[in-house]
Amino acid sequence: MESFLQVQESVEEQLGRELQDNELAFLQWVYERYTEEEKRRVNVSQY
């Protein structure tokens, strides 16, 4: 899984600019939800 910093760098590269504070906060929120969902998915698949 990519780290948040890797995701941020990838998004900024695709946009061709640095993210604004509100965009960075949103990306961090999305990343946290994604990692939580991945943990749940892994736990469910172990049963």
Q: Which two tokens stand for residue 37?
A: 């969902």
In terms of pLDDT, which residue wins out, 12 or 42?
12
Q: How much is the pTM?
A: 0.81
The answer to whether residue 46 scores a pLDDT higher than 90 is no
> What does the pLDDT read at residue 23?
99
Distance CA 43, CA 19 (A): 33
Query: Dihedral (C-alpha) 28, 6, 23, 34: value to the nearest 10 degrees?
Result: -40
* Element of type H or E holding 12: helix 4-15
Report yes or no: 19 and 12 within 8 Å, Cβ to Cβ: yes
Q: What is the pLDDT of residues 2-34, one digit of tens each?
A: 899 999 999 999 999 999 999 999 999 999 999
- For residue 1, give the amino acid letter: M
